[in-house]
Amino acid sequence: MDASYSIISVTGTVLLGLIVSLWLPGIERKFVHARIQQRIGPPVSSPGLMAVLKFFYKKTIEPCSPLPRLYNSLPIIGFISALLILLFLIPPMYTFGALASLVAVVGFLKIEEVIYVFMGSLSRSVMSLRMPFPDLAKGAKHPNVQRYFLEDLSAMRAFRLIAFGSFPIYIALFVPAVMAGSISIGDIVAYQAANGPVLFTLAGVIGTVAFFIGYMILLNEYPFAILKTKADVIEGPYMEYASKYRAFVYITRGFLMFTLGCLFSVLFIGVPPNILSLGILVNLAAAAIFPVIMAVFSAFAPVFTFKQFYPVTAAASVIGVLALVVAFV
Amino acid sequence: MDGKREIIETEITMGTVHSAAIEPYRVRLFVEDEIVRDAEITVGVNHRGIERIMEGLPVEKANSLTEKVCGICSGVHLWNSVLVAEKGLGVEIPERASYIRIIVGELERLHSHLLYLAHGNEVLGHETFSMRLFYIRETVMELLRLIGGNRVQYGVPIIGGIRPRADLDEMKIQRISEGMDFIEEKVEAFAERFTSDPMVMSRITGVCPISRKDALRLHVTGPTLRATGVEFDLRTEMPCYEPFEFDIITQDGGDVRANLLMRVLEIFESIKIIRQALRDLPDGRVVDRNWEMQDTGIVKSYVEAPRGRLYHSYAIEDGRVRGSIIRTPSMSNIGAMQYACIGHHITDAQLGIVQCDPCFTCTDRAIEIIDLNAER
């Protein structure tokens, strides 16, 4: 593989991913949610592309945060971590050894999860701002109690998600690794080139179920949207984002959808994303199908509380473990 | 706190502007690890001083002003306010007017209950159900526009009957009848889908229950009271409802599930009443103008609004309103809203408030609380 091929392959694939990811939220909203909810829905370009453009041209306002610069930089960090995952899925990058392995993928995904904790901790929106005077009116209950912001709640929830919510997807990621006998992405792709896609095995099918549930949890989509439940924390970690920083929130979400779709096609189908190969169509299909299925599920689900979240996550983790056991066998 | 342990770790304040709340109100939740240990609801943001504005206004003007108390159950406020004047002045209204008032009242109950279900589902996080319920509700809104000329403030009752433009001709009767068929079919389909959804049922069953005993202790009213198993509906005591056959719907448990199903089943009862009214609609005039304005003492009137018992009272002096008092059902239900949250998750707390069908904009009015034990 010469240098020019590698450069074109990597930059082209990343650019294509960026372009496609801008349309994924629109596909989800327009063609699935709107159809199910019997409404016209937004233009397909609106949620992912036009909204982003609009936000880039909005006036930048200072967020209510103790560390506004750090708070504003978090979506960019999230975007970079998603970008790095995609980057090391592209074949020319397999030469980077440990970075092109499942350990690195898990690490970058962890960054994606941890930033929500920081976002929530650093946001101080007006939505739960204390009154300019203490609640000492006659009859007021429990004056001078320590107050939380709504975003603090979402930060705590993000912390719990790190603890247990991400189990299903991480367990599912290692199903192909067990079958290939290696955590290197290059080896997993090579194994499937020789033995056929993992998806067409029993372990692969079970693992796909766990992966999909984990995918929904990672994207904080209904019914797993506990970080941004409208009934209590509203936008949660994203509450204070405005202008270009909110645009990055949108870009990151769309790009993560694309990246996770590519990750699935690499690990379970054995087709790495490469703009110079026809296999890219498989990646694009995976990147488009996952949000569509997710939108169907989310359109018919209420938001969970921990009472439902724990058992569902536990069940998904058990499914993942079952897939691992089957993969071992 | 009813003898509960007094450990309050933190406070979460929601409001006065919050996406789960249709109207501005402030909820202080005192939580331990996301479990609500105590709650306090504060209203007052929307206080518009309607009773004060009504003071000294001509009766007809004051009556039409009461329709602005609420944007959901506007018609029932006007109806009750008109009933106060009619009681005080001894006005007998034509039977046809009474039937049309009931049709409008029940249509309003339909739209209020459908709004409640849609809002409940939105708080639940089920946008699809919410959208579909708003879609069904649109039919009711259009029927109200057909009758009264407006979707929200239709201004049907006047002293002595109803406005002549709200009289029902064959076309309107046909349209209302078709509308009832449509709503019945759609709500049946929704109810079937809703009750068979395990995810939804797991989110609402056993959440924020109010026992029968607590409901009576907290003076809960309306469907929220009936959802606890208390068989009480003020419509059975209203003379204008005597010609109609309908069941008093009750549920057990008083939880979110019971409250949601309560409204679903009441929709069918309202449809039943509307169909009877359309079938038996008497001929004749819709307004009796043979009455004289005179002074009255304080006259009280109660009606069963979509949210429960609604109270209006005022005196008439020189054709003008004096000492108007309005007490809306949500005023009675606030205690239950605070109580229902306790012991439940924060996300469920909003659901517990919404299950009581709050209408804080109607409720916002100046009150004076007198502690009877203060002197002892």
Has residue A129 got a pLDDT over 80?
A: no
Q: Find out whether B180 and B270 touch, Cβ atoms under 8 Å.
A: no
> For a pLDDT cut of 90, what percent of chain B falls above it?
71
A157 to chain B: nearest residue by CA?
B34
Q: Are B15 and A131 in contact (CB under 8 A)?
A: no
Token representation of residue B258: 């019971």
Q: How confident is the model at residue A96 (pLDDT cuts 50, 70, 90)?
A: confident
Q: A9 is written with which tokens?
A: 């392959």
Which chain B residues have a beta carbon less than 8 Å from that of A153? 12, 34, 346
Q: By percentage, how much of chain A surpasses pLDDT 70?
A: 97
pLDDT of residue A138: 56
Beta pairing partners, B35? B32, B345
pLDDT higher than threshold 90 for residue B210: yes
Task: Report which of B300, B315, B310, B327 is spatially closest to residue B56, judged by C-alpha positions.
Answer: B315
Whether the pLDDT of residue B6 is over 80: the answer is: no
Contacting residues for A4 by C-beta, under 8 A, at least 6 apart: none
Average pLDDT, integer, range A50-65: 91
The two three-digit tokens of residue A110, written as one number:
């962890």
Which token pair is B129? 């159900």
Residue whose C-alpha is closest to residue A105's, from A8, A218, A10, A18: A218
Q: Is B127 on the interface with A (CB under 8 A)?
A: yes
In what helix (H) or strand (E) does residue B109 lie, and over which residues does it extend? helix B95-124
Give CA A234 to chain center in angstroms. Answer: 19
pLDDT tens track for B125-143: 898 999 999 999 999 999 9
- On whether the CB atoms of residues A77 and A115 are closer than 8 A, the answer is yes
Start-to-end CA span in chain B (Å): 23
Mean of the per-residue pLDDT values for chain B? 90
Model confidence pLDDT, tens digit, residues B87-123? 999 999 999 999 999 999 999 999 999 999 999 999 9
Does residue A134 surpass a pLDDT of 80?
no
Judge whether B211 is closer than 8 Å to chain A, CB to CB. Answer: no
Does the distance separating the beta carbons of B125 and A229 come in below 8 Å?
Answer: yes
Give the helix/strand (H/E) hosting B323.
strand B320-327
- In this model, does residue B193 exceed pLDDT 60? yes
DSSP letter, residue B11:
E
User: Measuring CA to CA, which residue among B122, B173, B166 is closest to residue B280?
Assistant: B173
For residue B247 the two structure tokens come to 């069941």
Contact A315/A55 with Cβ under 8 angstroms?
no
The b-or-e profile of B139-165 (16+ CB within 10 A means b, else e) is: bbbebbebbbeeebbbbbbbbbbbbee
Phi-psi region of A41 (alpha: psi -120 to 50; beta: other; left: phi over 0): left
| pLDDT for position B375 | 55
pLDDT at residue B1 is higher than 80:
no
The chain A residues in contact with chain B (CB within 8 A) are 33, 36-39, 127-130, 135, 140-142, 145-148, 150, 153, 156, 222-223, 225-226, 229-232, 234, 299-308
Shortest Cα–Cα distance, A129 to chain B (Å): 8
Nearest Cα of chain A lies from the Cα of B194 at a distance, in angstroms, of 10
pLDDT at A316 over 90: yes
The arithmetic mean of pLDDT across residues B26-45, rounded, is 87
Residue B49 pLDDT level (bands cut at 50, 70, 90): confident
Tell me how far apart the 2 most distant CA atoms of chain B are, in Å.
66
pLDDT in tens, A214-254: 999 999 888 888 888 888 888 889 989 999 999 999 999 99
Does the distance separating the beta carbons of A305 and B345 come in below 8 Å? yes
Amino acid letter, B119: H
More confident residue, A43 or B18: A43
User: For A24-94, where are the alpha helices, taking DSSP H only?
Assistant: 24-26, 34-36, 51-56, 68-87
Query: Does the predicted TM-score (pTM) go above 0.85?
Result: yes
- Asked if the model's pLDDT at residue B374 lies above 70, the reply is no
A181-193 residue pLDDT tens = 999 999 999 999 9
What SS3 state is found at A248?
Answer: helix
Instruction: Give A115's pLDDT tier (boundaries 50, 70, 90).
Output: very high
